[in-house]
Amino acid sequence: MRNVKISACQLKLKPLTNFEEFASQVKSMINQVPEESDYVIFPELVTLGLLNSFPNSDQFEASDLVRVSEYTDDYKNLFRNLAIQRKQVIIAGSHLERREDKYFNICYVFDKDGRNIEHKKTHIFPAEADWQTSEGNELEVYDIGPAKIGIAICYEAEIPEISRILSLKGAEIIFCPSYTFSEAGFWRVRHCAQARSIENQVYFVHCPTVGDPAIPVSAAGYGRASILSPCDLAFPYNGVVTEAGTNQNTVITGTVDIDELYKNRKSGAATTFYDRTRRESMYAKYPPFQTAVKQ
């Protein structure tokens, strides 16, 4: 067995007056993470509470959310140092960051030696257009820690092609930092995360932001973090390895067996990973987007 321990930090946003308060909030959560956890994940837009640190933040509009980019260096240094100190791989949620004349929703992954990789969100949720965010164009899988991992930020879980590409590139665990403003939004991502796990026979870790940063933009997060598996005899029958309470500021931890994924792909009751490839010649008869969608 190749067991991997994962901790998801379901961080509850609150108004923050300076970066030190944010760092204290993050450290308080990560101190609840077992030392033996291999991976630690934080939610999407984890720095959003820092908007309240700017003058006249009560007058901000949606387009002002990108102001948190000014904290990029502090944010990266905080999580880099935590990864080094704790000797754990940290998926540091995501953060709005300026690159030249554009802003991106970027997830950073920090290795135990402080080195990092980044993933720019490739499909922005329609509401994100108001935040001036641009889309990334790369999907990669990384050998960081004891497994091969991919990143799908929130809405990317709702795009099946993302997880399929990651799984074909070797992803064994897909980490999904997420931030949804409604219960309906949460369930869209959660149900899609479970579907992606079943379709591709991978583990999927859904870590949502909850709470309210108290900014003028409607941004109260709703969610319940979970570590998900395929639904088969070798896994929990409902596919839920573990999950958090709704909207709590809490940490959940679960252990998954990577080797079991490969066994399940070959001999499970459902062998969707290979079966989706086995009939590609049939799929080729039906090119995607062949018929225009009528409005």
Nearest to 45 by CA among 29, 27, 69: 69
Domains of the chain (ranges plus CATH)? 3-283 (3.60.110.10)
Whether the per-residue pLDDT at 43 is higher than 80: the answer is: yes
In this structure, of 100-114, 166-180, 216-230, the range with the lowest mean pLDDT score is 216-230
Confidence band for 290, pLDDT divided at 50, 70 and 90: very low
Mutual angle of helices 160-168 and 183-200, in 10-degree steps: 30
Q: What is the mean pLDDT of residues 157-172?
A: 96
Question: How far is the C-alpha of 17 from the C-alpha of 15, rounded, in Å?
Answer: 7
Catalogue the E-assigned strands of 100-224. Answer: 102-110, 116-120, 133-134, 142-144, 147-151, 173-178, 203-208, 210-211
Give CA angle at 126 (124, 128), nearest 5°: 60
Tell me the average pLDDT of the chain.
92
Structure pTM?
Answer: 0.94
Q: What is the mean pLDDT of residues 94-119?
A: 95
Contact 206, 197 (CB under 8 A): no
% of the chain surpassing 70 pLDDT: 96
- Where would I find the H helices in the chain? 19-30, 72-86, 160-168, 183-200, 258-267, 272-278, 280-283
- Active-site residues: which are they? 44, 121, 154
Place of tokens 């909850």: 210
Q: Which two tokens stand for residue 56?
A: 């006249």
Pairing outcome for strands 3-10 and 39-42: parallel
Contact 109, 116 (CB under 8 A): yes
> Which pLDDT score is estimated for 293?
38
Nearest to 66 by CA among 93, 91, 44, 47: 47
pLDDT tens for each residue of 55-83: 887 777 777 888 999 999 999 999 999 99
Whether the per-residue pLDDT at 294 is higher than 60: the answer is: no
